[in-house]
Amino acid sequence: MLLERKILVVEDNEINRAALCVILSSQYTVLEAENGEQALSLLEKYREGISLILLDIVMPVMDGYTFLKHLKADHRLNSIPVIVTTSNNSEADEVAALSSGATDFIAKPYSAKVILHRAAGIIRLRETSALIHQIQYDRVTGVYSKEYFCQQVRDILLRNPDVKYDILCSDIEDFKLINDTFGMAAGDRLLRQVAELCTQRLGDHGVCGRLNADQFACLLEHRDDYADEMFTQADSRINHGFGDQNVIMKYGIYTVEDRDVSVEQMCDRALLAAHSIKGKYGRHFALYDDKLRGTLLRRQAITDGMETALATGQFEVYLQPKYQIRDGRLAGAEALVRWNHPEWGLQPPAEFIPIFERNGFITKLDQYVWERVCALMQSWDEKGYPRINISVNVSRMDIYNTNLVDLLTGIVQRHGLSPSRLHLEITESAYTDTSRQLIETLGTLRRLGFVIEMDDFGSGYSSLNMLTEMPIDVLKLDMKFIQTEITRPTGQGILRFIVDLARWMKLSVVAEGVETREQLERLQNDGCDYAQGYYFAKPMPVENFVLVLTAQAPPADINNSRSAGSADRMDRVLLVADEDKEYRAQMHRAFSDCFKVLEAASYEQAVKTLGNHPHQISAVILSLTLQGGADILTAIQKERGAWETPCVATGPLDMELERSAMELGAADYAAKPHNQESLRRRVLRAMSLHTLQARIQSLQDEDCRDTMTGLLNRRGLYTIAKSLRHESSSAVYLFELDGLKKFNEKYGYVEGDHLIFHFASLLRAHTRVDDVLVRLGGDEFLIVMSHISSMEVAHKKETAILRAYYESRYVDPDSVTCFAGTVLRNAEESLDEIIRRAREAMYAAKAGDKDEYFLRKG
């Protein structure tokens, strides 16, 4: 039989029991019990697997009435129908049996046909009732199912046209986290508590249903006095019943005004109100109003227009540059999408992406972006532009496309690209679904050469176990995580831990949302690899990104003489931003032989000029007494990138103003009044340093860079040695990690590599972007630091670096000691001579007691 039905015969007379078994066994599986006690034991074993009970009333040990009392008291068993069989065919006996909970009554002797018909009818009725119950009621909570709730609401509204009603919907915040943390059983228990509370509160004055997951809906008579206290009391009861956990409920209320609106739409509106206060502390309920109605209409308009927008090219790809933290060089970009609507204008992704993710259109949009990005990279390759990679978003819905692997490989092959050029960003929340398909799909893509990035790391509920299971290459730290973590003291947050963990797992780390120099320096100190954010550049149209991309070519050296030709002069633009007209005229005369000089007399003019010449301006002379002058300096650093345009600040002889200018990113400060020739040398020197840094950034060949730390190696140092000769008032530092071999033997070479990388990160954190950092050999590091005018200043920087090292968690005083030798640079000396003097100073330090040496310096 497709469905095995069991009937339990409870009869103390063996002959009667045998007769019933003969009648029923042709169609059913028969279980036998001699009395009520045996019957209860069998019920405990089979429970609702028993379809019907045939019960004698007069039995030893436990009679039929007592058995019925136990049966009806057990909620697990009380739905099983019972036919009472008895020799007494009196009306009183029949009434007594039915009153005790029996479903039917049959008198002895037995009629086979009657018993079979009665059994079949009752079993069919029970199964039909159970099926209806399953359709009408939610299996977990026992309240109405969504479909039956909507039907009931329609009926109530129809029967009571003059009564005003509200739809109240509730939503549990972070319900998935509750399931993940406490388990599905605990989550179901919480849902039952919510349902029980709803039904108790409503009583006979409304109906309640479960819409889906953690969302419930109630219909109740309208009231005007909703208050937070009503909902906080409900939350307290729920939390108390859930072990005093901090379960947060949000409620939305829709007053039924238009009864032509479907019940489903009424619930949507109430849920929209609930969602409008998600994440808002102290807000427990919200009413659906015209503002939310506008939001709903906006969603519908977006949905109605999305297909046309894709077909007519309204979606535009924007690119946000991504930079290497170690040297500030462009390393790639992230592809984002904007909707340039003919009526609404340019729409940000937050306006439409969440809607597309809900309705499934995101898969079409993602494929459009992938195709467009690959076409751009192919075009740039053909034009000889620097080769970069671009990250694209892959939604959770994309992952479950069975053709995803073929689709992506087809796109990169069609455009002649290596898969490694297309980085696939998948949000952290998608990774929380650790299905086999997700793991296998990403694993296949990774084996084919695609780079897999976990986006928004730190925004959700990641686990270390998840990181080890998932096939990923890059962690992208969430913007809010970066902004919060940066406020904590170095070494006291988890940023360093995450970076170290990524190193151990051989993952790169990208920080997004970097907005300040302080954030960048913290990321640099903690060893982060790449960064993107408004500090460097906002997302920009493709044509603007091309200017950034093509500006990566190493600029020509700047000649320090006045003999530059007219072509060179026109290629180099100097902006003079000063409130004094005569001063601007003097600067025009002083620099017109080697620059095209532009003038600005106000903050507005200066910003406009910078915006109109995004990559042509070679240097800026900026008066800090100009109204908004400091803001101009900040704008140069924030909007154009910290290393894009050298700026010489001018102002009165004021040490505090000079210090502030240098902190804001000025390359130099010239106190007024000043000699024009002196200012000319300052400007050209700043440009020379900028050119030097650009050359350092351009040294990407493995022969010029240390592969482990990203610093210049010895060959890279000698490659730029000529440029260093123009640098005066500089100091040269030589550091040695003495005892590195012993450290490797004690902890292993992997930890030794971590120590070297950590020390390189520490050097970056304590130097400026235009300083030269070199790894000379296995345990030796060299720094050439500009703007150092005395040994006293030089030793302060040396002490700061040594102190930072000895306070580092990597320090093992028994095996690795850091020594330093510092000298001031003499412009006539060769590089080898300077390094020799620095090494002698370092040996002198090693010859003394290291603790005494360090304390003396501190």
Model confidence pLDDT, tens digit, residues 115-169: 888 888 888 887 777 666 666 788 888 888 888 899 889 989 988 999 999 999 9
Which tokens belong to 44?
């405990």
**Cβ neighbours around 67 below 10 Å, total:** 26
- Reported confidence tier of residue 208, pLDDT bands at 50, 70, 90: very high
Domain 315-542 = CATH 3.40.50.1220: no
pLDDT in tens, 50-79: 889 999 888 888 888 899 888 888 877 888
Q: Which range has the worst mean pLDDT, 83-87, 601-605, 807-811, 848-852?
A: 848-852
As a whole number, mean pLDDT of residues 240-258 equals 81
Residues of the chain above pLDDT 70, percent: 84
More confident residue, 736 or 518: 736
Domain 701-857 = CATH 3.30.70.270: yes
Which tokens belong to 52?
């019907």
The answer, yes or no, to whether residue 489 has pLDDT greater than 70, is no
Which tokens belong to 467?
């990181």
* Confidence at residue 621, expressed as pLDDT on a 0 to 100 scale: 93
The domain segmentation of the chain, as residue ranges, is 6-136, 146-288, 315-542, 566-695, 701-857
User: In the CATH scheme, what is the homologous superfamily, with its name and number, of domain 146-288?
Assistant: Reverse transcriptase/Diguanylate cyclase domain (3.30.70.270)
Residue 702 pairs in a beta bridge with none
* Confidence at residue 582, expressed as pLDDT on a 0 to 100 scale: 92
The answer, yes or no, to whether residue 274 has pLDDT greater than 50, is yes
Phi, psi of 526 (to 5 degrees): -90, 0
| CB-based contact 314:339 (threshold 8 Å) | yes
As a whole number, mean pLDDT of residues 553-580 equals 55
* Confidence at residue 438, expressed as pLDDT on a 0 to 100 scale: 76
More confident residue, 324 or 810: 324
The answer, yes or no, to whether residue 852 has pLDDT greater than 50, is no
The answer, yes or no, to whether residue 306 has pLDDT greater than 90, is yes
Q: Judge whether 512 counts as a catalytic residue.
A: yes
| CB-based contact 636:647 (threshold 8 Å) | yes
State the Cα angle at 661 between 656 and 663, rounded to 5°: 95
Q: Which range has the worst mean pLDDT, 20-24, 126-130, 283-287, 503-507?
A: 126-130
- Reported confidence tier of residue 557, pLDDT bands at 50, 70, 90: very low
Separation of alpha carbons 693 and 510, rounded Å? 23
**Of 11, 94, 428, 512, which is the active-site residue?**
512
Torsion of CA 84, 87, 93, 99, to 10 degrees: -10
pLDDT in tens, 521-538: 788 777 788 989 888 888
> C-alpha distances in angstroms, 255 versus 23, 90, 167, 229?
60, 58, 6, 20
* Confidence at residue 598, expressed as pLDDT on a 0 to 100 scale: 92
CB burial readout 635-659, b (16+ within 10 A) else e: bbbbbbbbbbbbbbbbbeeeeebbe
- Reported confidence tier of residue 858, pLDDT bands at 50, 70, 90: very low
Q: Which long-range contacts (CB under 8 A, 24 or more apart) does 809-816 make?
A: 809/491, 810/754, 810/755, 810/758, 810/759, 812/743, 812/746, 812/747, 815/739, 815/742, 815/743, 815/746, 816/737, 816/738, 816/739, 816/740, 816/742, 816/743, 816/755
pLDDT in tens, 703-712: 677 877 878 8
* Confidence at residue 450, expressed as pLDDT on a 0 to 100 scale: 93
Kindly report the pTM of this predicted structure. 0.45
- Reported confidence tier of residue 396, pLDDT bands at 50, 70, 90: confident
Architecture of 566-695 per CATH?
A: 3-Layer(aba) Sandwich (3.40)
Top CATH class of 6-136 equals: alpha beta
More confident residue, 333 or 440: 333
Residues of the chain above pLDDT 90, percent: 21
Phi, psi of 251 (to 5 degrees): -120, 140
Pairing of strands 573-577, 596-600: parallel
pLDDT in tens, 172-186: 887 777 776 777 788
* Confidence at residue 481, expressed as pLDDT on a 0 to 100 scale: 65
More confident residue, 246 or 357: 357
* Confidence at residue 563, expressed as pLDDT on a 0 to 100 scale: 37
As a whole number, mean pLDDT of residues 485-496 equals 60
* Confidence at residue 855, expressed as pLDDT on a 0 to 100 scale: 39
User: What value does the mean pLDDT of the chain take?
Assistant: 81
Eight-state DSSP code of residue 705: B
Q: What is the DSSP string of 512-559?
A: ----SHHHHHHHHHTT--EE-STTT---EEHHHHHHHHHTTSPPPPPP
Common-topology check for domains 6-136 and 146-288: no
Evaluate the CA torsion angle 260, 262, 267, 271 in order and state its sign: negative
* Confidence at residue 393, expressed as pLDDT on a 0 to 100 scale: 92
* Confidence at residue 416, expressed as pLDDT on a 0 to 100 scale: 92
